[in-house]
Amino acid sequence: METKRVIIKDAAYPRDEELMEAAQVLRGGGLVAFPTETVYGLGGNGLDEDAAEKIYRAKGRPSDNPLILHIAAMEELEPLVEDIPEGARRLAARFWPGPLTMIFPKSKIVPYGTTGGLDTVAVRMPADPTARRLIALAGVPVAAPSANTSGRPSPTTADHVWQDMEGKIDLLVDGGPVGIGLESTIVDVSGPVPAILRPGAITREMVEEVLGTVEVDPAVAGPMAEGTAPKAPGMKYKHYAPKGELTLVRLKEETVRELRRPGSTLYVQVQSALAAFGMSLGRPFAQLDLESFYMARKVDEAARQMEQTGASVGVICTDETMAVYKTCLKRSIGKRAQADTVAHNLYGVLREMDDLGVQYIYSESFVQDHLGFAVMNRLDKAAGHRILAV
Ligand code: TXA
Ligand code: MG
């Protein structure tokens, strides 16, 4: 199949002429990849089981992994679901359109082929103007998983989509790089207690502000206990994975404690190493706190040890820690002090490591609150929970 690429001149103000063909393809049962504010989606008519089947085939994705239905307006929600709980209405009022997906009991018109056989359905109203206009023009709910080959990092640029989907889909709407770079937050509102099944840019703190409390599905925190099933079927697969073996380097709690206790042996040691490092640069190195400096040193150490075996090794660092590294191949994932830049660049950096044929990747870790919680969730999954605690 030949894939057509339609470039949107100004993705903030897409013109209907630019989207009309894509909308027709969707209505006709074909596949269209399109930008959203989170990641690129691979869309098909969500009420058409054959279109869902095509999506699974193009992605190489197991068909028990349900798809998210994308809508353009609130009225489009009602026909898709059995019930809209009060909490869901409040979340929608606050965060839709936006990077929030909610799980509802599904109505009869939603085929099991779209929900992976489940009686629930995931729905999201994206904020991206191109996505929203395309969905409105298509006039059908658009089922769209991330537009990557199953198991690869989600696409945050049109080129990423092209790498994975060229020849497998009818059309790619190229709206340039996405804004957020991590998939939407998923909140299950179908049960008695709302639960976050996947963290994202709508943070736990933000959801709690609206709902009071929200649970976090245990599958989000780490590897699943033997015999338990995550509520979001997608969370059980090795996800977001680069081809190289990724290790996430984290500070032990006791390390953090020591580094925060002026006068401790470790504190004194790292403080003077940081001062010496600043001197070696010929300028005071004020932008780095002890914890980040210590972590960067440890990541560098692990990477260089691996380099000695002759393997090709890459490091994922930050703008602030970049200068600390002696490892050859290093890429900054963004500004440590600004989690949104880290989220935005994460998948791009993982893909770049793949393109460079890196065999072993070592990454710094991040504070796990707000958006950092989602960043660490994706890094942890990409690493297959391989963690080096230092
Ligand atoms: O930001 C996003 O959500 C992007 C863009 C394209 O909108 N889409 C996306 O879709 O990330 P996908 O298919 O890659 O991830 C959807 C996740 C999967 O983990 C899936 O298991 C879960 O949502 N999911 C879908 N329907 C569900 C349901 N009924 N119950 C529980 N989890 C569900
Ligand atoms: Mg995905």
Q: What is the DSSP string of 373-388?
A: HHHHHHHHHHTTT-EE
Contact between 67 and 41 (Cβ < 8 Å): no
Region of residue 45 (phi > 0: left; psi between -120 and 50: alpha; otherwise: beta): beta
Which residue in the block uniquely carries the two structure tokens 């390390």?
A: 255
Taking residues 272-300, report their average pLDDT. 88
Rounded to the nearest angstrom, the distance between the alpha carbon of 266 and the centre of ligand 2 is 41
- The residue contributing the CA closest to ligand 1 atom 33 is 232
> Cα separations (Å) of 80 from 69, 143, 152, 344?
9, 12, 30, 31
pLDDT at residue 183 tops 90: yes
Give the nearest ligand 1 atom to 184 CA: 1
Helix (H, G, I), strand (E, B) or coil at 56: helix
Tell me: the pLDDT tens digits for 193-230? 999 999 999 999 999 999 999 999 988 876 555 456 66
For the record, the structure tokens of 211 come out as 């709902």
Atom of ligand 1 nearest to the CA of 182: 1
The CA distance from 178 to 156, in Å, is 5
Quote the CA–CA distance of 63 and 114 in Å, as a whole number: 9
Place of tokens 């020591």: 258
Q: Quick one: pLDDT band at residue 280, thresholds 50, 70, 90?
A: confident
Nearest CA to ligand 1 atom 25: 66
Contact 32, 175 (CB under 8 A): no
Burial class (CB in 10 A: 0-12, 13-18, 19+), 278: middle
Structure tokens at 136: 């409105």
The Cα-based distances of 123 to 56, 69, 79 in angstroms read 18, 5, 12
User: Which pTM was predicted?
Assistant: 0.95
Ligand 1 centroid, distance to 11 Cα (angstroms): 24
pLDDT at 24 over 60: yes
Note if the bond before 242 is cis, omega within 30 degrees: no
Spell out which residues line ligand 1, taking CB within 6 angstroms: 36, 38-39, 41, 65-68, 101, 103, 115, 118, 120-122, 124, 144-146, 183-184, 186, 197, 231-235
**Region 227-249 average pLDDT:** 76
Q: Which residues contact 274 (CB under 8 A, 6 or more apart)?
A: 285, 288, 290, 293
* pLDDT on residue 224: 52
Helix 371-382 to helix 339-355 angle (10° resolution) is 20
Distance from the alpha carbon of residue 240 to the mean position of ligand 2, in angstroms: 7
User: Which has more confidence, 114 or 283?
Assistant: 114
The reported pLDDT for the residue numbered 196 is 97
Name residues whose C-beta falls within 8 Å of residue 117's C-beta, 6 or more positions apart in sequence. 64
The C-alpha atoms of residue 257 and residue 263 are separated, in whole angstroms, by: 12
Helix (H, G, I), strand (E, B) or coil at 48: coil
Alpha helices in the chain (DSSP H): 16-27, 49-59, 86-95, 112-115, 129-138, 158-165, 204-211, 218-221, 253-259, 265-281, 290-307, 339-355, 371-382
How many residues are recorded in the chain?
390
Task: List own/partner pairs for 30-33 with CB under 8 A and 24 or more apart.
Answer: 30/54, 30/169, 30/170, 30/171, 31/55, 31/58, 31/168, 31/169, 31/170, 31/171, 32/134, 32/169, 32/170, 32/171, 32/172, 32/173, 33/147, 33/155, 33/161, 33/165, 33/169, 33/171, 33/172, 33/173
Choose one of 26, 71, 100, 101 to mutate for the ligand 1 pocket test, by most ligand atoms within 8 angstroms of C-beta. Answer: 101
Return the pLDDT at 227. Answer: 55
Place of tokens 């660490």: 376
| pLDDT of 17 over the 70 cut | yes
